[in-house]
Structure 1
Amino acid sequence: MNHKVSIIIPCYNVEKYISQCIESIINQTYKNLEIICINDGSSDETQLILEKYIKLDSRIILINQSNKGLSDSRSSGVEISSGEYILFVDSDDWLETDCIDFLMKKQIDYDIICFSYFRDFKNISLPRKLGINGVFSASYLQRRILGPVQDEIKNIGNLDALVTVWGKLYKSDKIKGKKFVDVTKIGTWEDGLFNFEILEQCDKVLIMDEPFYHYRKDNIQSFTSKSKIGLYKKWLNKFEILSTLIIGKNNEFHTALKNRIAISLLGLTLTEVGNEQSINEKFKNLKIILSTPLYKNAINQLEISLLPLHWKLFYGFAKRESVLGVYSLAKGIQFIQKIKNL
């Protein structure tokens, strides 16, 4: 049966990228699509470009709203969608043209199909290897999204490879009526919370270690790339929510959350290093973060011996609450990231 798939695309000031995104979707080899674009108060030419595509393809639905953010935009798209399956695509990213056709041929009765992606820098495209392939219980994926355990810690670069809502085909009845958490409360990781709660009502998932999604890594204006001052305070709220959600679950979930908290310290440090505050303010914030009991306890139980050398150094400095050490290593990582985008 030729099931309808709803594609939900939140759009905010993406005049440079939205055409590539839309073209990759209207040219899909699978044709029974509903393409929902939410223009989230863009101040550039995004709306005009979307209106051009509406005239070219009747499958496109455009919602114009005042700027409410990524979470609200996605929730709005889910609310009006009519497809039996839902796929999220960020407006600065794009799909391989056979992506949906491939997924629908694999779809038997899975609640979610997860698939891999390319990380697209300015001059290079790198496939992300998930390191996992096959049919799994929803509970297993839920734990993997929460955090790593045992030998999974060896590859912390893949920590969030399964967290995002893009790179997944959902049965619509599993997510209809669900809302994304407002990031003003938790800072980031709304995808992770959404998936964690959705999986509570799921049974079987398929994970395919094959890339069909292109994740643009050189858009410094994207929804997810902006530096956030005071992020560490909001992340405490996020971890409190997660602590509540795993009440009654087995010890592996609790270990995974502690490892998630410890490993997330790197992302938090990179955010502090990249914000617009003075270096004195950055050092002050890092000192507060490193001395926070939640992070201290998580880092103390992290099996640092399993990590590659550079991560051992970073978390060794963190364990000793060395602000200069974690700052210096984060600056080095930031420099490498910039080189990739040249």
Structure 2
Amino acid sequence: MEHLVSIIVPVYKVEKYIDRCIQSLINQTYKQLEIILVDDGSPDNCGKIADNYAAKDSRIKAFHKKNGGLSDARNYGAQYVTGKFTLFVDSDDWLEDNMVEKLVAYSLKYEADVVQSAFYYAHDDYLLYDNRYYAKDEPPVILNNYELMTELVINERVKNFAWGKLYKTSLIEDIPFEKGVLFEDVFWAHKVMERAERYVILHEPLCYYYQRDDSIVAAYTPRNLDIIKGLKERHAFIESRYPDLINESYRLILKTHLEHYLLLFLNRQKDPGGVHRKEIQNYITKKHDCFNKSIVKDNVLKMELQMFIIHPYFYIGLLGLYKLFRQLKLTPSPAELERIN
């Protein structure tokens, strides 16, 4: 007998993409599904589209609520979950037809609390696959709890994303997403992963993470700084439960602060008076010793921190030099993801 899998799909202003997403769920080779569509007060026709699908397929349930954001919609959908497993799918993404079947099979085979699928970064006319760490045909990787938390903090092989992973429902049912923030997964993932005793990573890309055309610079707002808030909150968690990972946590916090200082600099009109840039500068200065200790083996990040401490504009100038050297082929370019046209 197949175990029921609950799929939660928050829906908001995705009229252009929602059919592709829902069809990929309906077409799953694994049929024991409970598809929970949460219309988060979408002003377009998404609510009607959800209702139409629910009327045609008994596995689909459509709910409607006032707009409260992605976290609120996920939390709302979670109260209707009855499956042994839960999967989160964003409504502009889509799945391979056999994704659920494979994730369930590996969860049962390895008695895993969470199974993570590889994915494609899906652009309108091409795909990107991250082959820097694993090849598509490599065998699964099984992590214990400490290995999992290490990889989560490093944020390379195990991402903070809630989507793309099959969870035992019992693992997550009492851990809600934090409402009113961007990057809500950063606030949530470590609380879940702390409970996971066995975590499986599959390298075959089974889902498509849709990339909109908006550039990160043009779309940037100070609300994006929520990720820093989330990383600091997680750092306090790491300090109390995984002290061996403190330096790795500091390293990611430093990288994220530097990245957002640059984005704020490029969007100076969105940071009147440089308020947010000053906050970042003050924090990096205050935590200078901690950051130095955390990056002793990372010469590039050490140089960036040194330049930033002298003055943030020295750091920005250093990034400009990196770019120039790469263009002149004096230094190698960062490894690129595999492109599939």
Instruction: Sort the TM-score into its range (normalised by shorter chain).
Output: 0.7 to 0.9
Deviation string 1:188-220 (CA, Å, 9 cap, x unpaired) is: 432133221112222111111221110011254
User: Relative to structure 2, which stretch is displaced further, 86-95 or 247-256?
Assistant: 247-256
1:34 aligns with 2:34: yes
CA gap of 1:314–1:86, structure 2 versus 1, over 3 A, is same
Larger Rg: 2
2:208 aligned residue? 214
Question: How many angstroms apart in 2 are the aligned matches of 1:52 and 1:274?
Answer: 44
Whether the 8 Å CA contact 1:29–1:101 is kept in 2: the answer is yes
* Number of aligned positions between the proteins: 316
2:124 aligned residue? 122
Q: Superposition pairs for residues 244-259 of structure 1, below 5 Å?
A: 244-259=236-251
Moved over 6 A (4+): none
User: TM-score if structure 1 supplies the norm length?
Assistant: 0.80
Compute the RMSD of aligned alpha carbons.
Answer: 3.3
SS at match of 2:167: strand
Equivalent position to 1:242, from 202, 212, 234: 234
2:3 aligned residue? 3
Query: Unpaired runs of 5+ in structure 2?
Result: 135-139, 324-338
1:155 aligned residue? none
Deviation string 1:280-337 (CA, Å, 9 cap, x unpaired) is: 7375532441232456445433437646x6x77755543433237438949x8xxxxx
Whether the 8 Å CA contact 1:262–1:295 is kept in 2: the answer is no
Question: How many angstroms apart in 1 are the aligned matches of 2:36 and 2:269?
Answer: 42
Amino acid of the residue matched to residue 43 of structure 1? P
User: Relative to structure 2, which stretch is displaced further, 314-323 or 33-42?
Assistant: 314-323
1:262 aligns with 2:254: yes
SS at match of 1:195: helix
Query: Unpaired runs of 5+ in structure 1?
Result: 149-157, 333-339
Superposed displacement of residue 25, structure 1: 0.7
Q: Superposition pairs for residues 67-78 of structure 1, below 5 Å?
A: 67-78=67-78
SS at match of 2:39: strand
User: Relative to structure 2, which stretch is displaced further, 52-61 or 240-249?
Assistant: 240-249
CA gap of 1:111–1:161, structure 2 versus 1, over 3 A, is closer
CA gap of 1:31–1:243, structure 2 versus 1, over 3 A, is same
Question: How many angstroms apart in 1 are the aligned matches of 2:121 and 2:150?
Answer: 24
How high is the sequence identity, in percent, across the aligned residues? 27
Amino acid of the residue matched to residue 290 of structure 1? Q
Whether the 8 Å CA contact 1:273–1:282 is kept in 2: the answer is no
Question: How many angstroms apart in 1 are the aligned matches of 2:128 and 2:207?
Answer: 11
CA gap of 1:298–1:62, structure 2 versus 1, over 3 A, is farther
Q: Superposition pairs for residues 171-320 of structure 1, below 5 Å?
A: 171-184=168-181, 188-218=182-212, 220=214, 227-229=220-222, 231-232=224-225, 234=226, 237-269=229-261, 271-273=263-265, 275=267, 278=269, 281=272, 283=274, 285-292=276-283, 293=285, 296-297=288-289, 299-303=291-295, 306=298, 315=305, 317-320=307-310
CA gap of 1:142–1:13, structure 2 versus 1, over 3 A, is same
Equivalent position to 2:145, from 135, 138, 143: 138
SS at match of 1:278: helix
User: TM-score if structure 2 supplies the norm length?
Assistant: 0.80
Question: How many angstroms apart in 2 are the aligned matches of 1:4 and 1:112?
Answer: 15
Amino acid of the residue matched to residue 139 of structure 1? Y
Superposed displacement of residue 134, structure 1: 1.3
